Structure formats: structure tokens, C-alpha cells
Amino acid sequence: MLQGVRILDLGWVLAGPFAGQILAQLGADVIKIEPLEGDMARTIPPYFVDGESSFFLAVNRGKRSVAINLKHERGAAVLRDLVRRSDAVISNFTPAASARLGLDFASLTKLNPKICLGQLIGWHDEGAYADAPAFDLVIQAAGGVMSITGERDGEPVRVGYQIADLAGGLYLALGTLGALVHAARTGKGQQVQVSLFDCQLALLTWQAQNYLISGEIPQRNGSRHPMIAPSEVFAGSDGERFVISPTGEQFFRHFCEVIGHPEIAKDERFATAAARIEHVTELASTLRAIFSKRPAREWLELFEQKRIPAGPVNNVAQALHHPVAELRNMLETLVNPATGNSCQFVGNPFKWFGAPVLGYPPRLGEHTRSVLEEVCGYEPQVIDELVRCGAVGAAREP
């Protein structure tokens, strides 16, 4: 879908590179611009394959790597040449760093009036917040999500993966697509700025809306849904956990019949959605006693047969090897062309005709020479000189 669109990905660590990989999954030619020492994500422990961190491998498939020393004048000139021949730039630097590197929108449009800039920042682009650290945990805490995550009487809990960084990357990719459409329609570039903090507020959706309407501050509720009952985790007689969420009166009545207790739906404490919320603790206790009579597997088989919204609480391994993951090609095995070793990766969630199979994540500077020749028209001897003077870095051939 984005074939022929060239995007310079100056993102580092997680949020920016995740956005770049999404755009690559949509077919764009994504050129990852790295410092000569490489993206810091390449060295994050504890798991490595062929010397590259699993953290880096997770979000850099399908890209070409060009190593540039942006502090070197000739390196900065190389980047400017790439900007002149590209459609968009994405980054997750602080606003000050972007301006210092000439990656602000005003500087970029002087080079290419049609260039689009997708800029991911932590907080805000002015005042004390412009350069404030914006680590995922800090944004989760400040953005409210930790206050509604965890057991009711327990401590605030972070989401099990970096939801602030990953949501920021999703919004950055989506915003960049919008800017590209604008440029294609008008012939003029566009800047879109995404704040990690803004994204967390946006994801609060109905939790925020509930507060804005009622003034009641949402609280942690464990796995229990604050507006639907029953909708939480239960366990079978074997201790294995599963979830149920028979939402709506018809589903709830059907659910009660399936578990062999149609009288529950007629109990005035549980007869309506509002009553079930008011008496959710009693309802949960009643269901726990029922579910304790049979193993989780038997309950889940029954729910599947009767089309009850339910499912197991899978660990990561179980989720990756779920039958649907296989049907949807959500695990792919790729061979590292530099070593011949194979590695499994999470597949492309976008399904469309002609979708590319993303290549193995690039070695640092793997495509410096080919990109500068193809995109910028540099002669081999010019690239050799740029490497010698430290303006760019190029990986040796495997």
C-alpha cells in the first residue's frame, strides 16, 4: 500500500522504531538512520541473537540501515541529501535535539517542500516539559493507566509491556500516514506531533469520560470490568484460570443456562446489568463455587460449543502458538543473511494483497553504501571518503 514511499526513520530504542516497522509492514521503504555506534536498542540485555538484542530485533524488521554521524558536517549533509529525496521523516528526539540536528519542520521544508515530519515527544514542546525525561514507566504513572491497573487493594501496577511507548509508536505511524495523504493531495508537506503523555490520556477513553461526567475517579479493579458483570478471571477445579464476559441480557441468560443454573438470571440481585454491577461481589462468589466443580478445560470446551464469550488466560508462549496465530501467519521464521542462522519473529498484523514479508532486521550500516548510491547518486569513491572521514559508517559484507 505504501510502495514507492520513502521514510527516514530516526527513531531509537522502542517508540520511534516501532512506528517505523509499522510503516514498513504497510509497504514503505523505511531507511533507519543510526549513529555510528548504532541504536542503543541493539545492546539491551539479556537476550541476543548473533550479537543483536531481541529488543532491537522486535521492532526493526523490513528496514535498511544507514549509519551517519550527524555531528559531522559531512554526515549532516548526507542526511540533508536523503531528506531531499524522501517523503517523510519520523523521530522520537526531544524538541531541542530535533532543532539542534536540523530536524525541525522549518529546516526540513527548506530542503524538501513536500516532506512530512512525524515527531514523537514525551510531554510538550515548550517550557519545562520540553526536555523532561519521558520514560515509559513515568508516562504510564503520570497518564493514569497505573492507577487503574492492579488488584483493588493492591499497589498500582504497570502494564506488562511498554504501553506508553508502543501506543506512542502506533499514533506516530497513524499521524505520519495522515501527513502523507495531505502532502499527496496538496503538494505541501505537513508536520504531525505526537506526545506520549497525550496518547495515554487518549487511551483512557471511557474511563476518562466516566470521570468527566460523574466526577468519580476510576479505581483499580483487578481483572474485573467496572461496567460489565460478570467479566473477570475465574478458575476451574484444577486451578487453571479463564475469563468470561457474557455481556448483555440475552448472553447472560444463555450463560446461566449453559452452566446449569438458569435460576441465577432470575435472581433479583442479578436480573439486570445494573443489579449485577451493584452485586458483583456476590455474583462472582456464586460463580466461583460453580466453576470449582470442573476443570477449566471442560468449562472452556462447553463455552466454545455454546458460543459463550470466554477464553483461557494464556501465557506468552501459549498465545504465540495459539491456532489462530498459525492461521494468521503471526509467527515467521527468517534467516539472518549475515550468519545463516534462523530466528522466529512476530508476523505482520496487516493483511492485504501483496503484503511484503519483512526482511531480517538490518546490521548496523548494512545499507549505507547501497542507499547512498541508489538514493543520493553518490559514486563509490565518494562513499569511501565519507567512511574514511567518519561522516558515515558502513558494515562489512558478510
Query: Which residues are known catalytic residues?
Result: 165
Which residues make beta-bridge pairs with 52? 49
- Residue 312: enclosing H or E segment and its boundaries? strand 310-312
* Amino acid sitting at position 51: G
Cα 252 from chain centre: 34
Using only the alpha carbons of the chain, give its radius of gyration: 25
Name which of 48, 53, 50, 63 is nearest 18 in CA terms. Answer: 63
Distances, alpha carbon 252 to alpha carbons 67, 207, 345, in Å? 58, 24, 39
* Ordered alpha helix ranges (H), the chain: 15-25, 54-58, 73-84, 95-100, 105-111, 136-142, 163-186, 196-203, 205-214, 249-258, 273-278, 280-291, 296-305, 316-320, 323-327, 368-374, 380-388
Distances, alpha carbon 176 to alpha carbons 75, 104, 120, 286, 319, in Å? 25, 15, 10, 50, 30
Distance in angstroms (rounded) separating the CA atoms of residues 36 and 82:
17
Distance in angstroms (rounded) separating the CA atoms of residues 143 and 171:
16
Asked if residues 360 and 337 have their Cβ atoms less than 8 Å apart, the reply is yes
Task: Give 205-251 as a DSSP string.
Answer: HHHHHHHHHH-PPP---TT--SSSSS-EEEE-TTS-EEEE---SHHH
Which residues make beta-bridge pairs with 67? 34, 393
Distance in angstroms (rounded) separating the CA atoms of residues 382 and 364:
20
**Block residue for cell numbers 498459525:** 326
Distance in angstroms (rounded) separating the CA atoms of residues 94 and 103:
11
- 77-93 burial: b if 16+ Cβ within 10 Å, else e: ebbbbbbeebbbbbbbb
Asked if residues 140 and 164 have their Cβ atoms less than 8 Å apart, the reply is yes
